[in-house]
Amino acid sequence: MRINMKKLIYIIPAFALFATVGCNKNLEEGPLENLDSSFIFDPVDKNGAYADQFLNDIYGNMPNGWNRIGNAMLDAATDDAVPSMRGSAIEDLRFGRIDPFGNPDDVWTSRYTQIRKVNVFLANIDKVPMEVETKGYWKAEARFLRAFSYFELLKRYGGVPLMGDRIGTLADDLQLPRNTFSDCVAYITAELDAIKPLVRQFPASGGDYGRITNTAVLALQSRLHLYAASPLFNAGNLATENKELTGYADVADAAVRARWQKAADVSKELLDLNVHIIEPNNRYINVFITRDSKEIILSYLRANTSDVEQNNGPVGFTQHGHRGYTSPTEELAQSFRMTNGKLITDPTSGYNPDKPNVGRDVRFNNVFFFNGSKWMRRTVETYEGGLDRPGGNRTQTQTGYYLRKFMYNAETATSLGAQPHNFPLFRYAEVYLNYAEALTETLENDADNPTQAAADALNKIRARGNIGNVSRTSVTKTQMRDLIRQERRVELCFEEHRYWDIRRWKIAKDVLNGSLHGNSIIRNDDGTFTYTPMAIAQMAFLDRMYLYPIPQAELYRNRNLKQNPRW
């Protein structure tokens, strides 16, 4: 697809929008939605230029996953990574040091700000005398962004107040109670069903690349129903009273299987369109560094930068500003199989710790920098005293690994150039995994074999790692569940799935209590290396952390809000 770079929808900050509009109008400082509506939704602006900027500002506040909490990836609050920098705010999540007064991932205010902006847009866009078809697309896109904001609230807090099209002001007494979890799922579902025929069909034309299409709508529905069917919001629900706020009050097995079936059905609807692809093995990295990968359904687009490389690259490349903020764990590394299909902990796997990438899942080289990796014309040195693990108080790898995923191939580069970076909000590989999981969970008995469709969907993603196929007749539902969960961990690592997956599966209390590990690597006199596993971090998780606390400031403002259990 040819992309018109002049029209490509980049994610740009609000201050840049002020500067852009300010060339023609004398904008006062302040939020765009607080300006007089006739100023932005101009009845003589036949092209809708200012309204378009307002909508782009809403796009600009979609989730962005790179190093967003204390210079750390969200995965540094899971068993997949630790922050290299001591004292990072992410440690509040890792150690359970959050409460209603402080949470580094609290999005209550930011998501309701987004919802209000959408409502302002929908209430005023018809004043603009622009082309009808484009206006229709914009309305549908805004409704998607509102539904996405509600989903981001739902997965953190459970049921939340639904605003409808209401635009609150400081003078309003918005003492709204929380809607039930099922109310919120139903509302998001209805919104997405309504806009599905109204948005652009994938692929969007080059000038509209980055806008919402029908496949993004289906992808959000797929994820929504996958979460809604998961144990946390059903049989694993935490509450003993007001249970409807934190999940479904009805937890009959048949009802839960019906929810899994809904997730499977909407996932299949997207797969059956056959308009996206799974990129081949040799183009896996391109999913994250090209603007027009057909595996991407929706991503956070920014202007070209080198900050992903600088923030996460090995620290010995000081001339290129590498900061090495992310240290993947040995637990994550061990979840990548050998190409013979065996885990490296199997003594018959053929794994050699001195050559950790040899014979491995081919994604391993694209996810990790390890001792011996090639980068910018030298070998990465994560042994003790090596260039990339020099010791002392400097921020550096805690595990012997650095994060390579999302970076362009700079093995032979002499300098870092600005490159496209796309944080995938939805991509096709996730939909296959959603489909496999949902189909598997519809089975009634743990000893049942999975369906061929579930095995085919899983194998579609396993093929990317060249780790062999799973035969449906050789595994039970329970074994298939474990294989799918492991594949989600490998394929979707550092894309902000693991953090939420272990919560919705209600296994976080088991996974996140105990030690995480890395390797102490010693370079021997003969040039060989000795790897010694070592505990490098502790995790702590309490039951109440399955859902976030409602911010105390909101409880003070709204006497009708009820706090989540155990907070």
Q: Which residues contact 193 (CB under 8 A, 6 or more apart)?
A: none
* DSSP character string of 486-539: HHHHHHTTTSS-HHHHHHHTT-HHHHSSEEEEEEEEEE-TTS-EEEEEEEEEEE
Residue 243, pLDDT score: 83
Q: Is 173 exposed, middle or buried (0-12, 13-18, 19+ CB in 10 A)?
A: exposed
CA distance 558 to 277: 46
Residue pair 194/180 in contact by the 8 Å Cβ criterion = no
Nearest CA to 112 out of 558, 564, 458 is that of 558
Residue pair 455/471 in contact by the 8 Å Cβ criterion = yes
Residue 431 has pLDDT above 90, yes or no: yes
Helix/strand/coil percent split, the chain, to 5:
40, 10, 50
Residue 292, pLDDT score: 85
CA distance 38 to 126: 11
Residue 28, pLDDT score: 43
Residue pair 322/314 in contact by the 8 Å Cβ criterion = yes
Quick: pLDDT tens for 556-566.
999 999 999 99
Residue 303, pLDDT score: 84
Average pLDDT over residues 178-182: 96
Average pLDDT over residues 425-438: 98
Residue 139 has pLDDT above 70, yes or no: yes
Helix or strand holding residue 294 (H, E): none
> Residue type for 100, please?
P
- pLDDT higher at 16 or 453: 453
> Residue type for 462, please?
R
Residue 17 has pLDDT above 70, yes or no: no
CA distance 561 to 159: 11
CA distance 310 to 354: 27
Nearest CA to 454 out of 271, 281, 298, 331 is that of 271
CA distance 185 to 30: 33
The alpha carbon dihedral of 419, 423, 428, 432 has a sign of: positive
CA distance 529 to 525: 9
The answer, yes or no, to whether the previous bond of 203 is cis (omega within 30 of 0) is yes
- Which is it for strands 378-379 and 514-523: parallel, antiparallel or unpaired? unpaired
- pLDDT confidence band for 417 (50 / 70 / 90): confident
Structure tokens at 100: 């209603």
- The 10 Å Cβ neighbour count of residue 126 is 11
Residue 14, pLDDT score: 37
Residue pair 480/454 in contact by the 8 Å Cβ criterion = yes
Residue 11 has pLDDT above 70, yes or no: no
In DSSP terms, which residues pair with 419 in a beta bridge?
305
- pLDDT confidence band for 237 (50 / 70 / 90): low
DSSP code of residue 566: T
In DSSP terms, which residues pair with 72 in a beta bridge?
69
Residue pair 398/536 in contact by the 8 Å Cβ criterion = yes
Task: Give percent of the chain with pLDDT exceeding 70.
Answer: 92
Q: What is the pTM of this model?
A: 0.93
- Ranges 21-30, 106-115, 146-155: which has the least confidence: 21-30
Quick: pLDDT tens for 488-513.
999 999 999 999 999 999 999 999 99
Mean pLDDT of the chain: 91
Quick: pLDDT tens for 210-229.
999 999 999 999 999 999 99
Cα three-residue angle 402-405-420, rounded to 5 degrees: 125
Quick: pLDDT tens for 444-494.
999 999 999 999 999 999 999 999 999 999 999 999 999 999 999 999 999
Phi, psi of 455, rounded to the nearest 5 degrees: -65, -40
> Residue type for 74, please?
L
Residue 235, pLDDT score: 72
- pLDDT confidence band for 35 (50 / 70 / 90): low
Residue 239, pLDDT score: 56
